[in-house]
Structure 1
Amino acid sequence: MPLSPDPALCRALAADLRDAGFTADALRTAWGGSADAAISRGLRGPAERALACRTDALAVLARFFVLGLVQPATTLTDALPRTTVAGLVALDLAAAEEGGIVAPRALIRPQEFVDAAGDMQWWIASDLDEAALGGPLPEGHVLGVGGASLTLAGLQLPGHVGRVLDVGTGCGIQALRARRDADHVVATDISSRALFFTELNAALNGVDGIEVRHGSLFAPVAGERFDRVVSNPPFVITPRAAGVPAYEYRDGGLVGDALVARFVGGVGGHLAPGGVAQLLGNWEYREGQDGLDRVRQWVAASDIPLDAWVVEREMLDPLEYAELWIRDGGTTPGSPAFASLVAAWLDDFAARGVTAVGFGYVLLRRPTAGAPTLARYERLVQAVPAPLGPHLQAALSAHDRLQPLDDAGLAASVLVVAGDVTEARHHLPGAEAPSVVELRQGGGFGRTLEVDPALAGLVGACDGDLPVGVLIDAIAELLEVDAGALREDLLPRVRELLFTGFLAFA
């Protein structure tokens, strides 16, 4: 593999892909929605059959770059007149074989993405997957864009910043996303092959300002600070045992959840004041110790005090976790190799008293001055709309605005109910008054809150006209309760509704 991709060849390949109409919509149209969904499950047969009689450039490139199938050199040359087969070989994307056949050495897939700036589509190159290889992945595999990659990209906070660090960049999807808002991005990885793909993908998509550096965690950026740090690190908990593959893209080479702990403990020193780090991670539940409490301890141990917002999205028992990641590596369930790997994972968890593994989102922020003021650790397992970045940014802004406000200041504030909030009332048969009142959030984390009539009435009255305190006094008079006591009850909950996005400052 060359150290860096040839920029001229990358421009030629991009032009050929563009001329062929090599887009996600065109591919879905070519082989149909069912076949498109099957590809994400590792089944390429339906798509291959749909293209069987086609020799146009889109079909040839779809078979070669998306399905990972060998193609005749003549048809591939026709589909890539600027790049040519020789150019693909020079980019290490193909290998010429006997009989005029060309084999792919990488995949290139169109990847759609939506953020606050609008719709985007990139071409993302990565290593051949299990379907193309016909077996388990090699340990140095560079992963393409998966669900976790898109989740983290959607979590990135919007807004212009100077410098962003992408730790463990892989194929570079986070670096590309960050560059949408940043003047400069530094992308690091322990894999030279991953850095090659990051440079290739930046060049294919005409994105400059991404600098790649080789090394582990924060070693390549010693002494440097950034406005944002983003990472989809190799957080998968992998047994340190003979015969267990250690995939670079998902295994950091440490025991248990130590890699995420090390990231959390070390990132503060690389954040500028006000800087934010966002990552995905796993954390272990051990006998007598909650997983979120472990993360809380990692944050507390940081040399730089940090604000923290940690959201656990799922929790798996040891067997579920083992099966998930063994399948991810391409080992066939039911095979002797699969059973052996399951045993290794379960032995590892048992040795350390691990009862479950949590997965979620971690947001850390270095205060601009003073001590941290945000320490929020919660479990939210419901499906959420995407992207979440704007919601996270709004929540942080609300938190910062609330900090200097005492209860009198909050009572004097004028609020509005968010446009995505609806109310549901549940009545027992024949009852006039509702037994349950719920506020439901259409955006953000899609929270549902059960509220009492007083809070429901307050939220309904927040229309940007009267201050909160005046509204509470009116509700107290209506309910015939003490206004001071009602303020003490409602104002802390109003703070929560402002943070979570049910309410906003007018």
Structure 2
Amino acid sequence: MSTPPAPVVVPELVAALRADLTAAAYTVEHVEDLLGPVAAGALDRGEALPALRATEPAAPTGGDPAAVLTRCFVLGVPVPVRALAAALPGVGVEAAALLGLVDAAGRGPDDEVRARVDLRPYAASDGAGEAAWWVVSDLGELATGGALRTDHVLGVGGASVTLAQATVRDPRRRVLDLGTGCGVQALHASRHAEHVVATDLSTRALAFAAFTTALAGLGPDRVELRAGSMLEPVTDDTFDLVVSNPPFVITPRRADVPAYDYRDGGRAGDDLVRDLVTGVGAVLAPGGVAQMLANWEIRDGEEWHERIGAWVDASGLDAWVVQRDEQDPAQYAETWIRDGGTTPADRAAWTARYGAWLDDLASRDVASVGFGIVTLRRPATGRPTLRRLESQTGSLRQPLGPVLAAGLAAHDAVTALSDDDLAARHLTVAPDVTEERYLEPGAVDPRVVLLRQGGGFGRTVQAGTALAAFVGACDGELTAGQIVGALGALLDVPAADVAADVLPSVRGLLADGLLTLA
């Protein structure tokens, strides 16, 4: 299949397009209102027919401009010249074609115009608050009716949103978006960074990223684009934050298995993720954080955290790894074969690719593949003190970025406190924490006390009698040492014994955010 040209940035025309999209109320909220819940839900599942019917009144004459734009740039159906001209009066159809957004069959009002790109509104909530932009990418399978090309530039997907929500958003001077694709992470980073460098191996991806960021009003002084593989374009730089949704998919290295630029980094197994985890510290400034999505192989006879744990140990960085999912080889193969547009209906291709994936994973004794969020940090001084690898496969309350940022800060605070320092501090229970007590009928004392976290990771901690009583007294009035002393008197136990029993757990509750330092 031939590769369509990427969009071209002409600043004055992009500015006119931005004004037109704004005037058309081409927003996520307005488009969802136009479609209605049924059509919007179907579209999220990859079914276009309800959305086509919902926007059909706009097809002949124009109607609601957002409906015309949705039909053209999201659903990929031709619209008349006069309809698109009415929806984009400032930039016009000819200029839209000059920008590489559409192809027009002619200049007559009833001649058809067909989109060359996917241009859609995007709204998200991250640690910096609500945000809305427009994102430009290649048309997907829903619009083209065919399988993706290997040089396909992906739009906003679930992984993009996951990373955006998990990224720490405190102010940063320099941010690197490694493997920017269509530029989504660079958009998010631009809100809390003085300067963003966005890299990609694909020059087509960089062209889309240039258009997406220009459409957001971000020039090269705010978002700088560089071509190259992995860390090569930034070897002489350092950054306060690195974000990456890298091409982490473990793909068989066979000629009959397509290698998609957006998901396959051209390495065997999970070598690309290993190299990124172990190498990203070279471009992190002291105190700098790197966050990435990753897949890692879990070999037969190993625990999930052993392989990724060895990489973070080799990195020399603080590390917090959260495994969000784990798939066996068959599930993993099915996921990524479907992602490329092959279905079981295409029996020959499906069987060949399925077999290739199973053979490739079996050749390295892979029992399953883990997926998760990796957060690394270069210590501001000294050696790393954080090594946290945990599996959290349940639902999380988003955005997760503030929770991770608070967790890093809490780790630093708790690590710096001696037991005497901790005893002198005033503690409070986090506002999202509740307590559950389970008693047998007629019993005075509970058999089980659970502390539940309502936000973030939604952790549940089983507390013994002394710990539950300690937490119940953490209202900021007494110091931790005073509470320990009171519990010792109440339980008729030496205060030192209560401290030895309670304070290690208190440190864990502080690190997890169930308790806070007043």
Q: Deviations over 1:345-389 (max 9, x none)?
A: 111111110000000110111111111111111111110011111
What residue in structure 2 maps to residue 79 of structure 1?
A: 87
Q: After TM superposition, give the deviation of residue 300 of structure 1 in Å.
A: 2.2
Aligned positions of 1:192-271 closer than 5 A: 192-208=203-219, 209-271=222-284
State the SS of the aligned residue for 1:53.
helix
Q: CA deviation at 1:327?
A: 1.2
**Match in the other structure for 1:89:** 97
SS of the residue corresponding to residue 499 of structure 1 reads: helix
Which moves more between the two structures, 218-227 or 99-108? 99-108
TM-score by length of 2: 0.95
Q: 1-side partners of 2:512 and 2:293: how far apart?
A: 20
Q: In structure 2, what is the Cα distance between the partners aligned to 1:499 and 1:348?
A: 40
Partner residue in 2 for 1:463:
475
Q: Does 1:104 align with 2:115?
A: yes
- TM-superposition CA deviations, 1:449-468 (whole Å, max 9, x none): 11112111111111111111
Q: Which moved more, 1:327-336 or 1:406-415?
A: 327-336
Per-residue CA deviations over 1:478-499 (Å, capped at 9, x if unaligned) read 2333321221121111111111
Cα 1:152–1:2 change in 2 (3 A) is closer
- Match for residue 187 of structure 1? 198
- 2:465 matches 1:453: yes
Q: Which residue of the partner structure matches residue 70 of structure 1?
A: 78
Q: 2-side partners of 1:214 and 1:495: how far apart?
A: 45
Per the alignment, in what secondary structure is the counterpart of residue 252 of structure 1?
coil
Contact 2:7 / 2:208 at 8 angstroms: preserved in 1? no
Over the aligned positions, Cα root-mean-square deviation in angstroms equals 1.4
Measure the CA separation in 2 of the matches of 1:268 and 1:471: 42
Superposition pairs of residues 297-336 of structure 1, within 5 angstroms: 297-302=310-315, 305-336=316-347
Does the 8 Å contact 2:432/2:454 carry over to 1?
yes
Aligned partners of 1:137 and 1:239: how far apart in 2?
A: 18
1:409 to 414, 421, 444: 421
Instruction: Confirm whether residue 275 of structure 1 aligns to residue 288 of structure 2.
Output: yes
* 1:343 Cα deviation from its structure 2 partner: 1.1
The farther-off stretch of 355-364 and 109-118 is 109-118
Following the alignment from structure 1 to structure 2, what is the Cα–Cα distance between the partners of residues 458 and 481? 14
Kindly indicate whether the alpha-carbon contact (under 8 Å) linking 2:196 and 2:224 is maintained by their aligned counterparts in 1: yes
For the residue of structure 2 that corresponds to 1:313, the secondary structure is: strand
Partner of residue 431, structure 1: 443
Asked whether 1:13 is paired with 2:13, we answer no
What is the aligned counterpart of 1:482 among 491, 494, 504?
494
Alignment: residue pair count:
504
What does residue 51 of structure 1 align with? 55
SS of the equivalent of 2:416 reads coil
Kept in 1: contact 2:284–2:290 (CA 8 A): yes
SS in 2 for 1:235: coil
Question: SS state of the match for residue 491, structure 1?
Answer: helix
- Of 126-135 and 332-341, deviating more is 332-341
**1:373 aligned to which of 385, 388, 398:** 385
- The 8 Å contact of residues 323 and 370 in structure 2, kept in 1 or not, is answered as yes
Answer whether contact 2:128 2:192 (CA < 8 A) is retained: no
From 167, 172, 188, the counterpart of 1:177 = 188
2:412 aligns with: 400
What does the per-residue CA deviation read over 1:250-307, in whole Å, with 9 as the maximum and x for residues that have no partner? 11010111110010111001000110000010010011223321111112223xx211
CA distance in 2, matches of 1:249, 1:276: 24
Q: In the alignment, is the contact (CA less than 8 A) between 1:156 and 1:178 conserved in 2?
A: no
2:302, 2:100 → 1: CA distance?
48
Select between 450-459 and 212-221 the one with higher mean Cα deviation.
450-459
Aligned to 2:32: 28
Any conservation in 1 of the 2:127–2:167 contact (CA below 8 Å)? no
Q: Which amino acid in structure 2 is aligned with residue 88 of structure 1?
A: A
Q: Which amino acid in the other structure matches residue 436 of structure 2?
A: A
**Matched residue of 1:52: which SS?**
helix
Secondary structure of 2:136 counterpart: strand
Asked whether 1:473 is paired with 2:485, we answer: yes
Gaps of 5+ in 1: none
Identify the residue that residue 432 of structure 2 maps to in structure 1: 420
Residue 347 (structure 2) pairs with residue 339 (structure 1):
no
After superposition, the Cα gap between the structure-2 partners of 1:2 and 1:194, relative to the gap in structure 1 and judged at 3 Å, is closer
Q: What SS does the corresponding residue of 2:84 show, helix, strand or coil?
A: helix
Bigger mean CA deviation after superposition, 260-269 or 322-331:
322-331
CA distance in 1, matches of 2:52, 2:7: 33
CA-to-aligned-CA distance 1:196-236 (integer Å, 9 cap, x gap):
11111111111340000001100011111001100000001
* Structure 2 CA distance for aligned equivalents of residues 399 and 280 of structure 1: 22
Unaligned runs of 5+ in 2: none
Distance 1:358 1:128 in 2: 29
Q: Is residue 122–residue 133 contact of structure 2 (8 Å, CA) maintained in 1?
A: yes
Deviation of the 1:2 alpha carbon: 6.1
* Secondary structure of the corresponding residue to residue 32 of structure 1: helix
Identity %: 52
The corresponding residue for 1:385 is: 397
